[in-house]
Homo-oligomer: A and B are copies of this chain.
Amino acid sequence: MKKIAVVGAGLVGSLQAILLAQKGYHVSVFERRPDLRKATLIGGKSINLALSDRGWKALEIAGIAEDIRQIAIPMYNRCMHALDGTLTYQPYGVNNEAIYSVSRGGLNQKLMNLADNYPNIEYFFDRKCLDVNLKTNTLSFQNEQTKELEQFESDKIFATDGAYSAVRMRMQKSMTFNYSQKYLDHGYKELVIPANADGSHKLDKNCLHIWPRGEFMMIALANLDGSFTCTLFFPMEGETSFETLKTREQVAAFFDKTFPDAVGMMPTLLDDYFENPTSSLIMVRCEPWNYKDNIVLLGDAAHAIVPFYGQGMNCGFEDCTVFNEMYDESKGDWTGLLSRFSDQRVPDANAILDLALDNYVEMRDKTADPEFLLQKKIEGKFSRLHPDKWTPLYSQVTFSNTRYSDALKNGRKQDALMQEILKIENIHEKWDEPFVMDKMLELIS
């Protein structure tokens, strides 16, 4: 039986371990941190995820989807909070689809527990990856408990060790490896809206709440305990930024002015603001994801993206799905498999990063723009009339398994077409007239 090492016991690593174990491999999973099932969670880092179709598909393959549905809260709408407190609801799907708020920690624990059912999966915690010998496929770890150096030789290595992957760093130094890392000018900070005294939610829990404010935004996702995890996405530097909001007075004044309908629901705002870290957002692109037939990067290690499409985990899980399919197609022959996998997935990972960057502008800025809302209204109408001719980009990304690279192309085409439609004179008044739909039909063919 072939020995496989998985570096990183996060979501993608644990899922991939299960899928490999199901194929009969002996899988050793190495994780830098202690077993998160025994540790207390470190707060202050955003741990809410929005599960959507690509993620569910992989969870179904692993046989865990039903368990997760029990701890997932469906969100059917974006709920936009205007400065004057007006709420605008925008459905995510055209067929009442939802994205699902889940806790990263809860999902990871479930995956680990499921992995424990496989006698051919072994977890090794407190193992910090120091190096990889590419010639012998040997990993070096520091055992954080004993401080001793440990070596592990395996036939294949799956590196799922995240945006700051140690395995990828080794590949970057040792082979013809195209790599880029770029930090967003904006960072984020986690805040909280606690539950009501009776445990109920202070806002509609079945919405993803957005306070779009042009150059920045706050969002809130519901937790099972009645609270909301809020995340402020905000410039790191500049006139209005993490750098300039320095005192409790400045922060209080800023929130009073900018998020007036939220501030009353955030009793621990000032403590949270100064206790929770300001985190940065890194974007990683690289190619190839494999080293020969031996090592492959999956998940954030291969493609760290920004969180604005809710696709980071979904994309990582889709890596597992795609690998699984390609492995089955090759009937378990590894020759060239990792290289073909890399060729297949790189354009999709690049596309979802581009889409997520676009969506940041959309969420923080355009969702408050009447022209944009009109465009969405027209698109929605057309899509309902001609569902075979128009799948909204958001649905392609979130509620389908269309390749991200195809979705990106389709979206660009749709947007060019809508720019034509918006040029129609008095479109704000005439948008609901039949000739607009006819014009779209004409443009689309």
Taking Cβ atoms with an 8 Å cutoff, the residues of A that contact B are 164, 169, 172-173, 176-183, 236, 280
Contacts and interface: CB of A to CB of B under 8 A. Distances in A.
B178 A172 contact: no
Contacts of A164: 173
Nearest to A169: B173
A181 B179 contact: yes
18 contacts: A164-B173, A169-B169, A169-B173, A172-B181, A176-B183, A176-B236, A176-B280, A177-B181, A177-B183, A178-B181, A178-B183, A179-B179, A179-B180, A179-B181, A179-B182, A180-B180, A180-B181, A180-B182
A438 B302 CA distance: 56
A181 B169 CA distance: 12
Contacts of A177: 181, 183
Contacts of A169: 169, 173
Given A176-B280, A177-B183, A179-B179, 8 more contacts: A169-B173, A172-B181, A176-B183, A178-B182, A178-B183, A179-B181, A180-B180, A180-B181
Of listed A172, A181, A183, residue having the most chain B CB within 10 A: A181
A169 B172 CA distance: 10
Contacts of A182: 178-180
A110 B280 CA distance: 46
A32 B182 CA distance: 29
Contacts of A179: 179-182
A89 to B, nearest CB: 37
Contacts of A172: 181
A241 to B, nearest CB: 14
Nearest to A287: B182
A280 B175 CA distance: 10
A172 B177 CA distance: 16
Contacts of A173: 164, 169
A179 to B, nearest CB: 5
Nearest to A181: B179
A60 to B, nearest CB: 37
A182 B176 CA distance: 8
A177 B181 CA distance: 8
Contacts of A181: 172, 177-180
Contacts of A280: 176
A166 to B, nearest CB: 9
Nearest to A183: B176
Contacts of A183: 176-178
A278 to B, nearest CB: 11
A172 B172 CA distance: 12
A172 B163 CA distance: 12
Contacts of A180: 179-182
Contacts of A236: 176
A217 to B, nearest CB: 21
A182 B179 CA distance: 6
A181 B173 CA distance: 10
A397 B176 CA distance: 30
A176 B179 CA distance: 16
Nearest to A164: B173
Nearest to A176: B183
A236 B175 CA distance: 14
A176 to B, nearest CB: 5
A182 B178 CA distance: 4
A169 B177 CA distance: 14
A111 B177 CA distance: 33
Contacts of A178: 181-183
A183 B171 CA distance: 14
